[in-house]
Amino acid sequence: MASSLMKDSPSAPAGPEKTFFGHPRGLATLFMTEMWERFSFYGMRALLTIYLISGGSDASKGLQGGGLGMDLATTTAVYSIYLSMVYLLAMPGGWLGDRVWGPRKTVTIAACTIMLGHLTLALPGTGSFFAGLALVALGSGLLKANISTMVGHLYDGPNDPRRDGGFTIFYMGINIGAFFAPLIIGTVGETYNWHLGFALAAVGMGIGLVMFLLGTKHLSPESSRVPTPLSREERLTWLRKGMTWLLIAAVFYGVVGLSGNFTLNWAMVPLTLAGIAIPAAVLIRIKRDKELSAAEQTRMSGYIWFFVAAAVFWMIYDQGGSTVQAFGTTKAAGELFGLGFPSSWYQSLNPVFIMALAPVFAWFWLWLSRRGQEPSTVVKFAAGLFLVGVSFFFFLIPLAMAADGTLVSPMWLVGIYLIQTVGELCVSPVGLSVTTKMAPGKYASQMMGVWFLAVTAGDSVTGLLSIGGVDLGKTGVVALEALLACLAGFAVFMYRRKVRALMGDIR
């Protein structure tokens, strides 16, 4: 597939060197690697909620048997904690790439870890399921930060005019993989066999790994370099700390397990608390750094507004794969226009909407900018929060319709995902941009990881609520979340002048 996309570039230097849509050939390698990695990631994720709520030995609620048969609260907690850990582990993943292995080696190790995780998920049993989930989260965290770094290495610095276009092509790979994954992995796993679906996810990552290894010769030599390697003393210090914490955890959980008191909450509660505490600690550490200039300190105060707003947004948005998916699986009709389909296909809606609407939004913002009417970053964030709230107010309608056992039309879920995607396009790309613009010089390379921590914080709050027994699929809870998001969006809009003042000359 990659070779068919290659073409001679008329603007290339002298010689027969081939390019990928006018970009460095290494972009094809990273595009294919990321596309297949996202295929495996989103394919497994499309099955996750359905597998967790399906019955153990019978077809509970019309679902295939053989799942774990969890209630919705536990299912949402597991799903939310898994996602929060993926984004939390992106920071240490970036650190390992910068200081230990270099981006290229880190991505190779990450891909092997992800593939092993999916193969472990393919084994029956609760223990192998959670072990596989942990491995996939670890590998995804390792890969997430480093593969994007390697895309940047292909270009001649941040001012290379091809750079933004290269990242756009790269992110198309993400959405292509995310779109096809539920249609293939979801169908096989949900219709035929859960573990065969998980095994297909391993195959997808295996293809991505092969593509990466075959194409490494086209990557920048910079991708193999360790930018700031640890000294021998630092290595020993980190190893000592790691082994100490590992020993403490092993002893603690060993005692809990041998005493017969271990439950799933012994693992989930610490992870959710860490997912809230670590993002807060990172922001406080950066904010209190006395080496920052007064202007950088002020911008960080403004950035905290965006971070909290993003955490609220992701807290609701990511329930599209848990609360909304569970509703679609159990309360929505399994056919549309006379054609039946697996409920995992709902997870293909967001990427197809992204691919359709992202160019429209890019054109729309540019059109408004030329007329001097483009909304500020703060207003875009407020709109995104408001829209994700509206999506849950919209969710209340099918919830009410299904209260008496009626199966609702799948079009209600299409509407929910469409509204959420429009909200995402107001928050996600804008948040990535404002993060790079407002980052203090000292933390320029770390702030992207800080942005991902907003996802961690939002999903950890969802997980904590679920562990506490809150049924996030209840009408009252959905209404409360919708109101919270809308009020948060209103607050950001009302304080927009204050936030813009804190941003200084950043727009």
pLDDT of residue 261: 84
Strands 339-340 and 18-20: unpaired
pLDDT of residue 505: 64
Looking at 402-507, list the stretches that DSSP marks H as alpha helix, in order from N- to C-terminal side: 411-438, 447-467, 475-494, 496-502
Q: Residue 11 above 60 pLDDT?
A: no
Task: Find the mean pLDDT for residues 165-179.
Answer: 87
Model confidence at 13, pLDDT cuts 50, 70, 90, reads very low
Question: Which two structure tokens, joined as six digits, stand for 279?
Answer: 């993002």
Mean pLDDT of the chain: 88
User: Do 43 and 179 contact (CB within 8 A), yes or no?
Assistant: no
Strands 6-8 and 335-336: unpaired
Q: Which strand (E) or helix (H) includes residue 340?
A: strand 339-340
Task: Find the mean pLDDT for residues 96-100.
Answer: 88
| pTM for this entry | 0.90
**Of 291, 247, 251, 273, the residue nearest 442 (C-alpha):** 291
Q: Residue 7 above 60 pLDDT?
A: no
Q: Residue 481 above 90 pLDDT?
A: yes
pLDDT of residue 453: 93
Residue 36's identity, in one-letter code, is: W
User: Do 185 and 44 contact (CB within 8 A), yes or no?
Assistant: yes
Q: Residue 14 above 70 pLDDT?
A: no
d(CA 207, CA 460): 32
User: Which residues are registered as beta bridge partners of 7?
Assistant: 19
Model confidence at 397, pLDDT cuts 50, 70, 90, reads very high
d(CA 90, CA 72): 28
pLDDT of residue 256: 87
Q: Which strand (E) or helix (H) includes residue 504?
A: none
Residue 90's identity, in one-letter code, is: A
Task: Find the mean pLDDT for residues 111-120.
Answer: 97
Q: Which of 71-80, 206-215, 368-377, 441-450 has the lowest mean pLDDT?
A: 441-450
pLDDT of residue 17: 59
Q: Residue 368 above 90 pLDDT?
A: no
Q: Residue 56 above 60 pLDDT?
A: no
pLDDT of residue 9: 40
**pLDDT > 70 in the chain, percent:** 93
